[in-house]
Structure 1
């Protein structure tokens, strides 16, 4: 077998995040004898309770709608796979990319974006709800695995990557609690590490591809409709030109595979050009430059067109809207029920509401609901209301 040039270890670029140069953890710990700091972060994430729950948290289709639709867990694995592939080509830190990718959705509510929107509405008078900030809360405070501290005590670089978006008011609170920490870049308008930028792009590539797959599997969109999407149709036609007799799902899978590969190669080429122009001499210098992980101009336009197609034809499909409307009602009624009777929650969350002001009590309820899986939230709603909405 011909030897691949990737068989040998790839040295990190000067602009990559080097584990030995990490800004460290909030609670100092001795180094691990066999793992880098970012490998250690990855392992802590994989063994966390929140990570296991992702298998029963869904994206577009809810957990009861089918066993083969993507979940937050499978999506996170796909982001990690794409991210590592791109990171290796760009000589970025694969371990850090993997850790960020596996943790980036830990704070997502049950019922996908519908649950997030509903919980944000419930929390509007109490500081709102942001799933990226919630993911940080999970790894900083809500996981209870260690005797010395709350959370997972991850490195600055992994935590920085997890916090993809953050409202200015929340960034100011983070900066007040941790000066110079992960909230600062939202105030001084600098960038996260290149590895964090890469995870953001890999996230977009992954969910666009798997939402096509899940949308066709569900019957809500068709291969014929996708002929109007230039990014997908180019690879569908290419597939049929090479395999004229191919039909059905094999056409879909092969077109998606080629589309994914093309996007990966495009990101690698466009980012190499951006790095060559910017010439950052370190990871911190890269943070001071504008976003460097990027699509080329044509691919960016085609990706945006695909997102518009999915928004119009899948996310706003009447069947999806009906289900997400029911899911939002479940979340709102759970929030109202727990706020009225905190003792209905698990003991630790109920205890947090005792003698708490309105904001702190509401945050305890939001933390409890955000940690639920789809099916647990549905069962709790039925227990508290006597109604089963998600038929």
Structure 2
């Protein structure tokens, strides 16, 4: 049963290109399925979170991360009476716009694109699902519902000021009300992203040997989780002990979001999804106390994982890959594959051409970017 403030598929604002609705799938289910079957979603298998793909088979990729986010988001959405299909669609799509090499690749591409409007992975995700996926006979993109597009564009909150060009272009023809918060489903997807990466970055960092269990036990939440495991399961082997403790950390975050969000929703008493958009503040949140604990964990991870010496070395190497590929393609767009030449031909100036090049590079997997760099520079 959906709450009154959930997104009702029967009252969806529809799609940019009208379609006959399915007899057995609601609109948000179709959105989720189209995202799963998209080329961009499959490519996430070979795009990394922190570590470059070839560094290990067990570290998270953008694909496994997106699946984990969707699992958390479904759980929270159902518990709050929100639409789980819409929540899952936004969760699965939230990282579609990421470049190869994680945030390192995005930082490099954003710097290169600074003269041409910059680069933002959330805006790029919208560009992918509204333009760059080209499989359907009647339109470019996936022709997703307005609600899913809204969630992709602003699941992290309102987008104001100088808009990324990919958002500005689409919003001009299909307004997404970028100056408001999204519905509850997209807010759940955003918090689920935080929950997933806080938990799995601890796991990946331990697996990579960047820090030890003893070190993270000095952090809030984590020390208590390990202490509880030792109390309930004394003498557990190291791998099981670690897994059981991180399960508890995960549970603390999910429980906190549910308790806090239920209270905020009760206080706001929204009668519709429009009421949630009009509140001017998010209703899906961590408590202030837990948010402070998570800031301490993120600070630790930033120093010990995201800026670990081995990671910094790799960041420099993959930054060079992006920095050298971009000007090569910009100077000689004939190097782009044949299927991209129509976009090149339609590019009326250098800015438009740079955006075609950025689309191509952003779509690369880690593996392909390294292969192309080697092929074109050696």
CA distance, structure 1, for counterparts of residue 5 and residue 272 of structure 2:
4
CA distance, structure 2, for counterparts of residue 384 and residue 178 of structure 1:
37
CA distance, structure 1, for counterparts of residue 160 and residue 49 of structure 2:
23
Q: CA deviation at 1:243?
A: 1.2
Which runs of 5 or more structure 2 residues have no equivalent in the other structure? none
Conserved 8 A contact 1:171-1:184: no
Q: 1:184 aligns with which of 174, 177, 200?
A: 177
Conserved 8 A contact 1:139-1:154: yes
Q: CA deviation at 1:185?
A: 2.5
Q: 1:308 aligns with which of 278, 290, 299?
A: 299
1:291 matched to which residue of 2? Answer: 282
1:5 matched to which residue of 2? Answer: none
Q: CA deviation at 1:145?
A: 0.9
Structure 1 position 169 matched with structure 2 position 159: no
Counterparts of 1:1-391 in structure 2 under 5 Å? 11-164=1-154, 166=159, 168-170=161-163, 174=167, 178=171, 181=174, 183-186=176-179, 190-289=180-279, 290-354=281-345, 356-386=348-378
Segment of structure 1 superposing worse, 239-248 or 121-130? 239-248
Scaled by the length of structure 1, what TM-score is found? 0.92
1:3 matched to which residue of 2? Answer: none
C-alpha root-mean-square deviation of aligned residues, in Å?
Answer: 1.5
Q: Which runs of 4+ in 1 moved over 6 A?
A: none
CA distance, structure 1, for counterparts of residue 331 and residue 175 of structure 2:
34
Q: CA deviation at 1:356?
A: 2.6
Q: 1:378 to 1:23 in 2, by over 3 A?
A: same
CA distance, structure 1, for counterparts of residue 231 and residue 174 of structure 2:
53
> CA offsets, 1:345-370, max 9 Å, x none?
11232332236301000000000000
CA distance, structure 2, for counterparts of residue 174 and residue 207 of structure 1:
25
